[in-house]
């Protein structure tokens, strides 16, 4: 019987995440533009974590505020089943 | 004292006639200017579909004001009180703008974001309207 091969973890090479606001120099996130904010929420309308979008902490806070304002003026839903 | 910039979004009921809408908007404008506010920009999105129903209504008239006022002028309190008293108002939002927001709004008014957001079909029309609004306001000056 063949000897069982030792398991070695193969590293997955992913492109490095970056903060899109830092990269493109966006200083202000407009809450009146729901189509742009769609990039930061999932299908249920929940905010996506930083580890998925790669946004830096400073801008994640601003994204959160913008999404909440956008929801308040009914341009984004608070809850949704399938929005994408 | 330096003036603070504010932005206010009001959602009005869709059952209003054209004239009632104009009246409501002009009354809010009057309130801003009479309380020492300087109206910088106003924008009307027209009848817009909302993401969820408010008072069983699925659409609303969106009206945006940007104005500058002294920070201690209590203009926002007065404006919000007027919004709350008005039954035609479904939703309102008043925010203070920081320096980046002021710059952003200036660029937006000049139509700089038209090309950048081609995917955004809904906002192309309002931006066009906004341009018209700025032109008319310049004429007034």
- Reply yes or no on whether the pLDDT at B116 is more than 70: no
Query: So where are chain B's domains?
Result: 3-140
d(CA B140, CA B83): 27
Render B49-89 in DSSP notation, one character per residue.
EEEEEETTEEEEEEEEEEEEEETTS-HHHHHHHHHHH-TTE
Residues 6 or more apart whose CB falls under 8 angstroms from that of A50 comprise: A56, A57, A60
Residues of A in contact with B91 (CB under 8 A): 72-74
Domains for chain A: give ranges and CATH numbers. Answer: 20-72 (4.10.640.10)
d(CA B95, CA B99): 13
Q: What is the pTM of this model?
A: 0.76
Q: Do A75 and B50 touch (CB under 8 A)?
A: yes
- CATH topology for B3-140 is Alpha-Beta Plaits (3.30.70)
Q: Is B133 left (phi over 0), alpha (psi -120 to 50) or beta?
A: alpha
- Reply yes or no on whether the pLDDT at B66 is more than 90: yes
Per-residue pLDDT at B2: 75
B37 touches chain A (CB under 8 A): no
- Reply yes or no on whether the pLDDT at A64 is more than 90: yes
Mutate to test the interface with A, among B41, B51, B102 (most CBs of A within 10 A): B51
- For A8-30, give one letter per residue: b (16+ CB within 10 A) or e: eeeeeeeeeeebebeeeebebbb
Per-residue pLDDT at B124: 43
**How high is the ipTM of this complex?**
0.73
């Amino acid at each position: 019987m063949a000897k069982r091969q030792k398991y070695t973890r193969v590293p997955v090479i992913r492109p490095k995440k970056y903060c899109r606001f830092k990269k493109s120099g966006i200083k202000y996130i407009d809450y009146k533009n729901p189509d742009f904010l769609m990039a930061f929420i999932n299908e249920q309308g929940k905010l996506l974590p930083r580890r998925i979008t790669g946004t830096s902490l400073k801008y994640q806070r601003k994204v959160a505020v913008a999404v909440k304002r956008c929801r308040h003026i009914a341009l984004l839903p608070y809850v949704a089943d399938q929005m994408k | 004292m330096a003036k603070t910039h504010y932005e206010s979004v009001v959602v009005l009921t869709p059952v209003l006639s054209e004239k009632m809408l104009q009246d409501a908007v002009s009354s809010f404008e009057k309130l801003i200017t009479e309380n020492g506010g300087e109206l910088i920009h106003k924008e009307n999105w027209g009848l817009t579909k909302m993401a969820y129903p408010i008072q069983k209504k699925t659409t609303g008239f969106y009206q945006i004001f940007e104005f500058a006022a002294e920070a201690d002028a209590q203009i926002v309190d007065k404006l919000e009180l007027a919004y709350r008293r008005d039954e035609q108002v479904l939703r309102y939002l008043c925010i203070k703008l920081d320096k980046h927001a002021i710059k952003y709004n200036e660029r937006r008014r000049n139509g700089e974001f038209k090309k950048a957001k081609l995917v955004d079909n809904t906002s192309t029309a309002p931006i066009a309207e906004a341009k018209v609004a700025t032109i008319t306001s310049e004429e007034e000056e």
